[in-house]
Amino acid sequence: MSTPAQAAQALFELTYDTVPTAMFKAPGRVNLIGGHTDYNEGLVLPAAINFHTVIAVSPNSDNCINAVSARFGAEVQSWQISSEEQQDNDNAPWFNYLIGLCRSFLLTGLDIKGMNVAIASNVPLNAGLASSAALEIAFAMALSEQNQLHLSNLALAQLAQRSEYQYVGFECGLMDQMISACAREDHAMMIDCMDMSAKPIEIPDNLSLLIFMPTQPLKRSADDYHLRQHECAQAAQHFGVESLRELTLSQLEQGKASLSPTLYKRALHVLGENARVYSAGKALQRGQLAKFSQIMAQAHESMRDNFELSVPQIDQLVDSINQVVGDKGGVRITGGGVGGCVVALIDHDYTEAVFSAVEGEFSKQTGVDVTTFICHPSDGVHQLSIEQA
């Protein structure tokens, strides 16, 4: 099977009958802990994973972005570069991410020129593993480097988030774009979404990073995601703060009587989750796996009970894994609670037993098959040499 880099280069050559002049590679991500804290200006602890989107490019003289995707068919999509508002491409929604980034660059005062583009990716779709962010960040670096803008990786993440919010219509936090842009191999990254600072947290080499994705769709609607955003904003407004990051637990408890039970639970999750992210990062740094396991269990319970974004089958999957690893690994729902995935960071020695439990007992009891991804914490976006493909 070809790598995304090989596939992107081959597609480029087939489509444009020439070799690309540059290639850019950006990873997907898994969020270890920090569910729905990013858009509340809180703390998150994601890691980039060794599933990537690769973009092969070369300049053109027709002032157009011409793009083709291996994943979404071989038809070339084209967009005339302009700062003026133009109709989105309803037939190729993936192409709107590229259009949105171009608009974001232009309206920031950054000039861009025409490019031919070919895209390949192995980041799983609809799994909460940031396939869209990987596309955005790879293309953002392509725009930056091909136009000699040489923007920082943080700037790429900010432009990508802005374009997704303004032009794609998804009001996301900064986490996905920032980890895809700024990740470090063998590390998770604690990101403060208020001041956009980031601290790498080394993942001990005796731990396996696993993602379990049910093959049947168990996720809730994206409407639930937006509803939680709205509820968090309502809770913040109730207390007269810009975001829940500015609210303290004592303030929340003092104002509990004047808050609806639903909004109280949403705020309680966010405040507790910020504390859990910080503690989880410290536990990893100190090699305190039992403590990390406990914190991850608390995070899953809060997503289930306070944020109400899990589903019974996901809860059972988490329980099945926990029964095997005990305090030798952390397990929780991931993907914002909408993607329907489970992440586990566990002692290597328990990996095979976990596979057996998931593929055997869990699937037999629920009738739900699970795809397991064995991941490695990856570097953020970077340029590839053509030879690397």
Residues known to be catalytic: 176
Q: How far apart are CA 255 and CA 47, in angstroms?
A: 36
φ and ψ at residue 249, rounded to 5 degrees: -65, -35
Q: Token pair for residue 78?
A: 């084209």
Check: CB of residue 270 under 8 Å from CB of residue 42: yes
Q: How far apart are CA 97 and CA 333, in angstroms?
A: 27
Q: How far apart are CA 237 and CA 258, in angstroms?
A: 13
Q: 3-class DSSP state for residue 319?
A: helix
Report which residue type is found at 92: A
Q: 3-class DSSP state for residue 222?
A: helix
Q: Residue 254: is it exposed, middle or buried by C-beta count within 10 angstroms (0-12/13-18/19+)?
A: exposed
Write the DSSP assignment of 127-177 as a string of letters.
Answer: SSS-HHHHHHHHHHHHHHHHTT----HHHHHHHHHHHIIIII-----SHHH
Q: How far apart are CA 2 and CA 120, in angstroms?
A: 10
HEC-encoded secondary structure of 238-275 = HCCCCCHHHCCHHHHHHCHHHCCHHHHHHHHHHHHHHH
Please name the residue that has the structure tokens 């769709």: 217
